[in-house]
């Protein structure tokens, strides 16, 4: 699933490409991806709306459009947005030119396509069709239960170490699962929780009640450093994620533990181990990340 760096990558690229563009019409072959309106009503509302801003909240892409509407896109497990010149041929959308959009098979699952007023198309590619697209009035979105329960943004300048430390007061649970809880702090999933904890030398199953201030400082510092580094590299493309132009990100080339079970740790030579936590795989180095 795209995490904070992947979503932030798309948001920044969208801001550079589609501000002040207008939606002409919308196509889909998977109406179930539109969640809170019928597709027909969704088409009518979004037609003619101008893109005012693009931002992120957690793992959600938020496209502010005219008439005070917000287009919310959550890419879920296999979804990613693409932008380019597409043409509809033989019942499907295909790129007009050669390049990443046409060459990478991960970009061929186009299930929702927005025609823009500059002739380009903004498309959602999603192999498993788990993504969601919602249309909200801005005030209603910000007052919705799901939106209001989201935790703080880890890269906000106001989210200091002091505020991070406060989150752990009376908190219980294993540290990796706590970091992945979107009501605790947003945007961190399996990839970055594993990498953050390796960098901080913390075992993924460590109980948060056993962490001292120095442990928390290392986690906070690693979190900020790793998330920013991945944004710089345009995210992780170990699996399905691609950038807006259809290209792979680069973070997967520098991971230390994620998906490296049985391989040697780059720092100590010990073999990376994998365990299951909450139904998800956790990767760690038993020598670099011993339990207390």
DSSP bridge partners of 260: none
- Burial-class residue 262 by CB neighbours within 10 Å (0-12, 13-18, 19+): exposed
Which pLDDT value is given to residue 1?
79
Q: What are phi and psi of 243, to 5 degrees?
A: -75, 180
Is 287 labeled as catalytic in the residue annotation? no
Is 108 labeled as catalytic in the residue annotation? no
Q: How far apart are the first and last CA of the chain?
A: 31
Domain regions of the chain by residue span: 4-148, 161-284
Catalytic residue among 2, 5, 154, 204: 2
Catalytic residue among 171, 217, 225, 280: 280
| pLDDT tens readout for residues 85-95 | 999 999 999 99
Fold match flag (4-148 vs 161-284): no
Is 96 labeled as catalytic in the residue annotation? no
Helix (H, G, I), strand (E, B) or coil at 270: coil
Which pLDDT value is given to residue 246?
97
Cβ neighbours of residue 143 closer than 8 Å, sequence gap 6 or more: none
> Is residue 227 within 8 Å of residue 5, measured between CB atoms?
yes
Q: What is the pLDDT along the chain (292 residues), one digit of tens a residue?
A: 799 999 999 999 999 999 999 999 999 999 999 999 999 999 999 999 999 999 999 999 999 999 999 999 999 999 999 999 999 999 999 999 899 999 999 999 999 999 999 999 999 999 999 999 999 999 999 999 999 999 999 999 999 999 999 999 999 999 999 999 999 999 999 999 999 999 999 999 999 999 999 999 999 999 999 999 999 999 999 999 999 999 999 999 999 999 999 999 999 999 999 999 989 999 999 999 999 8
> Is residue 208 within 8 Å of residue 173, measured between CB atoms?
yes
Q: How many CB atoms lie within 10 A of CB 170?
A: 6
> Is residue 7 within 8 Å of residue 191, measured between CB atoms?
no
| pLDDT tens readout for residues 169-201 | 999 999 999 999 999 999 999 999 999 999 999
d(CA 146, CA 38): 21
Catalytic residue among 21, 56, 59, 234: 59
Is 260 labeled as catalytic in the residue annotation? no
Which pLDDT value is given to residue 93?
96
161-284 fold: Helicase, Ruva Protein; domain 3 (1.10.8)
Catalytic residue among 3, 134, 195, 206: 3
d(CA 251, CA 5): 10
> Is residue 74 within 8 Å of residue 130, measured between CB atoms?
no
* CATH number for the domain whose boundaries are 4-148: 3.20.190.10
């Amino acid at each position: 699933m795209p995490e904070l760096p992947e979503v932030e990558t798309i948001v920044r690229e969208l801001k550079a490409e589609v501000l002040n563009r207008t939606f002409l019409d919308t196509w889909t072959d998977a109406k179930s991806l539109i969640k809170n309106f019928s597709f027909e009503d969704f088409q009518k509302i979004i037609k003619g709306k101008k893109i005012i801003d693009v931002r992120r909240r957690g793992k959600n892409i938020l496209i502010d459009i005219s008439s005070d509407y917000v287009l919310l896109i959550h890419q879920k497990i296999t979804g990613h947005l693409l932008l380019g010149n597409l043409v509809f041929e033989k019942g499907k959308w295909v790129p007009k030119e050669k390049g990443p959009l046409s060459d990478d098979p991960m970009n061929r699952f186009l299930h929702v396509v927005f025609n823009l007023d500059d002739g380009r198309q903004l498309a959602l590619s999603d192999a498993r069709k788990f993504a969601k697209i919602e249309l909200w009035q801005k005030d209603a979105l910000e007052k919705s239960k799901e939106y209001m329960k989201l935790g703080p943004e880890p890269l906000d300048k106001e989210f200091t170490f002091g505020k991070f430390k406060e989150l752990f007061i009376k908190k219980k649970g294993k540290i990796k699962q706590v970091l992945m809880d979107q009501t605790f702090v947003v945007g961190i999933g399996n990839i970055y929780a594993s990498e953050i904890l390796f960098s901080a030398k913390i075992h993924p199953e460590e109980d948060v009640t056993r962490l001292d201030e120095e442990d928390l400082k290392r986690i906070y510092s690693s979190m900020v450093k790793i998330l920013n580094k991945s944004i710089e590299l345009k995210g992780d493309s170990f699996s399905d994620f691609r950038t807006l132009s259809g290209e792979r990100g680069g973070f997967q080339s520098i991971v230390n533990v994620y998906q490296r079970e049985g391989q040697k740790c780059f720092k100590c030579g010990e073999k990376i181990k994998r365990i299951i936590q909450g139904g998800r795989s956790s990767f760690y180095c038993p020598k670099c990340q011993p339990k207390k």
